[in-house]
């Protein structure tokens, strides 16, 4: 039961889009090495946090049915890890409400972004003196994508995803996200890779705007896409739908099955999303912009 509903605050968990993702090696412990250019969108999940008499967790939204309510949920793992790190007295009970707008197991970091939002939210809710470096170290224990989701700004990630470099002056991009309604397990995709020692990303252009970025992206890859499309052929249908809707560039994000299309303006993206949704009413389709 919430002790003070007025104290409820909201944090957003944006979708993560891997514009390019190169697999460059594999460590002895099994973790894959990557180089990725990632952006975060204005569309995503929402986390509400409020003080409570006892811990609570609830889920709403279009993808609520696919979300676990137990300790396997990364948002709750984040809560518990932070509580252990600072001590129970400094971390009293809270009610966490998740509005799940992003499909699960879809290659756009939904669970990782939820966990990052919970970390940010609880640091403020509990009034913790925990700086960015300490939060990043804790985030790294939760999953390879959580540190970059904690940053939630244009960046290049290397290593297993923990070596982050901000990309300043990155223009906002018009994006359409499309998922054909299929969940794809990241572990299955990595297991299906034919090659794991690919070259890294080329240097970024000096000025990042739509045309220059598109030209740069044409020189890059998502090294997971071939394996993911073998596992889930409908990814190809999503890419084709984006091309037919006029996207200037299309690619799969992360380990799939969500794909993205780049558009020169937000209005073009909205029109394309309407067209794709009309033709494929059962798909997840969202027009959005990246955050700068």
User: What residues are labeled active site?
Assistant: 16, 145
Token match 């460059």: residue?
24
The answer to whether the CB of 125 falls within 8 A of the CB of 9 is yes
The answer to whether the CB of 184 falls within 8 A of the CB of 256 is yes
Phi, psi at residue 270, to the nearest 5°? Answer: -65, -45
161 backbone φψ class: left, alpha, beta (φ>0; ψ -120 to 50): left
State the number of CA atoms in the 13 A half-sphere of 135 facing the CB.
22
72: Cβ–Cβ under 8 A, 6 or more apart, which residues? none
DSSP state of 170: P
The answer to whether the CB of 175 falls within 8 A of the CB of 288 is yes
Sign (positive or negative) of CA dihedral 116, 118, 124, 127 = negative
- Residues 64-89 as b/e (b if ≥16 CB within 10 A, e otherwise) read eeebeeeeebbbbbbbebbbebbeee
Q: How far apart are CA 90 and CA 86, in angstroms?
A: 6
Token match 């955050």: residue?
291
Pairing of strands 163-166, 9-26: unpaired
Q: How far apart are CA 2 and CA 137, in angstroms?
A: 30
């Amino acid at each position: 039961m919430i002790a003070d509903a007025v104290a409820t605050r909201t944090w957003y968990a944006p979708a993560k889009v891997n514009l390019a993702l190169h697999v460059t090696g594999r460590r002895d412990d099994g973790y894959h090495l990557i180089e990725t250019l990632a952006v975060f969108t204005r569309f995503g999940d929402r986390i509400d946090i409020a003080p409570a008499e006892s811990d609570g967790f609830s889920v709403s939204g279009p993808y609520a049915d696919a979300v676990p309510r137990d300790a396997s949920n990364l948002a709750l793992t984040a809560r518990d890890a932070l509580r252990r790190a600072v001590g129970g007295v400094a971390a009293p009970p809270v009610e966490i409400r998740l509005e799940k707008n992003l499909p699960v197991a879809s290659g756009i970091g939904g669970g990782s972004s939820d966990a990052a939002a919970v970390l940010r939210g609880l640091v403020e809710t509990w009034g913790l003196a925990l700086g960015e470096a300490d939060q990043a170290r804790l985030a790294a224990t939760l999953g390879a994508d959580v540190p970059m989701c904690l940053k939630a700004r244009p960046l290049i990630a290397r290593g297993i995803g923990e070596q982050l470099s901000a990309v300043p002056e990155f223009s906002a991009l018009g994006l359409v996200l499309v998922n054909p309604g299929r969940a794809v397990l990241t572990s299955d995709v990595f297991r299906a890779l034919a090659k794991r020692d690919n070259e890294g990303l080329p240097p970024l252009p000096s000025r990042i705007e739509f045309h220059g970025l598109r030209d740069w992206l044409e020189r890059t890859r998502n090294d997971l896409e071939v394996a993911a499309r073998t596992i889930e052929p409908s990814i190809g249908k999503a890419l084709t739908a984006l091309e037919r809707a006029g996207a200037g560039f299309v690619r799969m994000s992360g380990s799939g099955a969500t794909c993205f299309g780049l558009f020169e303006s937000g209005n073009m993206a909205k029109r394309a999303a309407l067209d794709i949704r009309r033709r494929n009413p059962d798909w997840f389709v969202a027009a959005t912009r990246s955050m700068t």
